[in-house]
Amino acid sequence: MTTDPHWLSDTEMGAWLNLAQILMLMPTALDQQLREDAALPHTHYHILSALSSRPERAMRMTELARQAGTTTTRLSHAVSTLEQRGWVARRACPTDKRGQIAHLTDAGFAVLAAAAPGHVTEVRRLVFDHLSDEDVVRLRAITAKLLPTLTGDT
């Protein structure tokens, strides 16, 4: 026996359509800014940034893929490109022979540091310049409720 879906209300549909449009347009806008200003795709910036915030600027590849919201295969291709540029180095995981650890090199950190000011300016322009302090608190609370379902941390 099938049941009808619980359709979205008009208010929910309006919120969903706005969110869906933001989800489609935001990555393109951020990627464009980073490519123009730093010759760096947003995906690569995100990987470098994730590594920079970790102790010893290193992270297991599986965790990095999860944090980047991509597959280990796609991440491996991106990290290979970053390795060729000397921005990331991979090494074997000391506790798991099959695992690998990605390490942000000093050269990679310098690239990230050079790209970060323009990127944060664009993030401010696209998002935070339009929100009050209270809006930011609500946005953080809303996204914190949605993330666990998407990351599997429920």
Provide φ and ψ at 127, rounded to 5°: -120, -70
In a domain, 53, yes or no: yes
Domain ranges, residue 63? 35-119
Q: What is the number of structural domains in the chain?
A: 1
Higher local confidence (pLDDT), 59 or 98: 59
Q: Round the average pLDDT of the chain to a whole number and report it.
A: 94
pLDDT of 76 higher than 80: yes
CATH number of the structural domain spanning residue 82 = 1.10.10.10
50 contacts 42 by C-beta, under 8 angstroms: no
Q: What pLDDT, on a 0 to 100 scale, did the predictor assign at position 1?
A: 62
The answer to whether the Cα torsion of 42, 44, 50, 53 is positive or negative is negative
In a domain, 67, yes or no: yes
Cα-based angle 146, 144, 133 (whole degrees, multiple of 5): 125
pLDDT of 9 higher than 80: yes
pTM of the model: 0.87
Q: What is the mean pLDDT of residues 59-74?
A: 90
* Residues ≥6 apart with Cβ < 8 Å to 111: 38, 40, 48, 85, 87
pLDDT of 36 higher than 80: yes
